[in-house]
Structure 1
Amino acid sequence: MEAPSSQFLIQFPGAFRSPSCMHNEQSKIFVAKNLGNRFPSLIVKKLPRRSLLQFLGFNSVLLNSCPVLAAPMQEMKEPEVIRTQKLGNGVRIQDIVEGEGPEAREGDLVEVNYVCRRSNGYFVHSTVDQFSGESSPIVLPLDEKQIIKGLKDVLIGMKVGGKRRALIPPSVGYINENLSPIPDEFGPRRSLLSHAKEPLIFEVQLLKVL
């Protein structure tokens, strides 16, 4: 049974490339007819555009009545940064949320949550569990003999409820192993100190001024 003239063949590069039968149009038609007889699954019928769209699951009425289905998805946006500042010691600060509670001052005890990452974005340590979302806030003294100076400078001036993101250079970071914040567990502690000589990014939220 011959393939109708309204059908076409799926082409396979390099297939049926015999010198004796591929040099004229007649031989091509002969190969197409025989291929259609022997392998009917390789014959694809030409469908009108409307039928093809319906075959693929598109319904013109649905698209006309629900244009939102054809609209591109909106991208997730980063939290809006209120302001940025660079301190004289090289610390760069972005205010993400401006708090409304009491302001932290030097010498205060503060309760915070934080996430620490390397400058390339890789996670180092956090008081917030990445999977459950549960937090274990820590209390820090705003005293550079007990806390890394860069983070102390970030926290001073913050108001309770505020969030800041900061890039802290190693010169005002973990210049010794006794400075907070540092995890108690051996693994996270070792991971943090192994990156002590590079800039670190802290995202910190001020929960309380004690």
Structure 2
Amino acid sequence: MGISSQRLKLTSFLGVSNPIRRSHPLEPKATRSTCRGFRAVCGVSGRRAVSGLALLGAAASCANLLGVPMPVQAAMLEPDVIRYRKLDSGVKLEDVVDGEGPEAREGDLVQFNYVCRRANGYFVHSTVNQFSGESKPVTLRLDVQEMIRGLKDVIVGMKAGGKRRALISPEVGYIDESLQPVPEEFGPRRSLLSHAKEPLVFEVQLLKVL
């Protein structure tokens, strides 16, 4: 499906009642002001149609546990100028921070943090606690037998300290409940797997290539 056929009104993505804010009732004030600022710049009147992928970046920034800043372009220009690329697997990917050191390659053992949300911005799970800042990084091998293919494709090519944001379709997502990453706790695990048939937004920060 082309970008032109995916274009949605901003109001239909964010919703009149602002589901992103409702999903984070204890969200810090600074985060809420970022969301309001984005709506003020783009206009929630529905006069403009913007691509769903551009909104992906803006929605992820509204509850940004990994500290990924909203690109300057989103505040100054049309939201649909945010640059991204589409991988062969269909994953739509945005590079946020490059990182340093050797690139992660398929088969490598890596350690990373991530935030997972639904495509409409609702929070699903994160390895970073938004209140304490404490993190529980995931250590996995970049192998489709162990990790969902979409996330594996996102991490391959990253460097330590690098950050990426991606939209992963269910076809390369949780096609098998044994695939990782999945929270150990029952509640978060059930929440994540209940959305396994939806496109999911992942923000990933690569910590180490082991």
- Unaligned segments of structure 1, at least 5 residues: 1-74
Distance in 2 between the 1:203 and 1:156 partners?
Answer: 14
1:78 correspondence with 2:70: yes
Aligned to 1:150: 150
1:167 correspondence with 2:159: no
Aligned length: 136
Matching residue's letter, 2:169 = P
- Unaligned segments of structure 2, at least 5 residues: 1-36, 39-68, 74-81
* CA deviations over 1:104-151 (Å, ceiling 9, x no partner): 000000000000000001000010002111111110110001000000
Q: How does 1:100-139 map to 2 (within 5 A)?
A: 100-139=100-139
More helix by share: 2
When the two structures are superposed, what TM-score results if normalisation uses the length of structure 1? 0.62
Matching residue's letter, 1:78 = M
Give the greater-gyration-radius structure (CA).
1
Aligned to 1:208: 208
CA contact (8 A) 1:96 1:162 kept: yes
Matching residue's letter, 1:104 = A
Structure 1 stretches of 4+ moved >4 Å: 80-83
Cα gap change, 1:101 to 1:190, in 2 (>3 Å): same
When the two structures are superposed, what TM-score results if normalisation uses the length of structure 2? 0.62
SS of the aligned residue for 1:189 comes to helix
Distance in 2 between the 1:107 and 1:80 partners?
Answer: 35
Distance in 2 between the 1:167 and 1:121 partners?
Answer: 11
Distance in 2 between the 1:103 and 1:80 partners?
Answer: 26
Cα gap change, 1:162 to 1:80, in 2 (>3 Å): farther
Aligned to 2:97: 97
CA contact (8 A) 1:99 1:162 kept: yes
CA contact (8 A) 1:113 1:138 kept: yes
Alignment root-mean-square deviation, CA: 1.6
Aligned to 1:33: none
- How far did 1:88 drift? 2.1
Q: Quick one: percent identity of the two aligned structures? A: 71
Distance in 2 between the 1:116 and 1:80 partners?
Answer: 23
SS of the aligned residue for 2:84 comes to strand
Distance in 2 between the 1:148 and 1:125 partners?
Answer: 16
Distance in 1 between the 2:72 and 2:149 partners?
Answer: 26
Aligned to 1:185: 185
Matching residue's letter, 1:79 = P
CA contact (8 A) 1:80 1:96 kept: no
- How far did 1:192 drift? 0.2
SS of the aligned residue for 1:207 comes to strand
- How far did 1:83 drift? 4.8
Aligned to 1:30: none
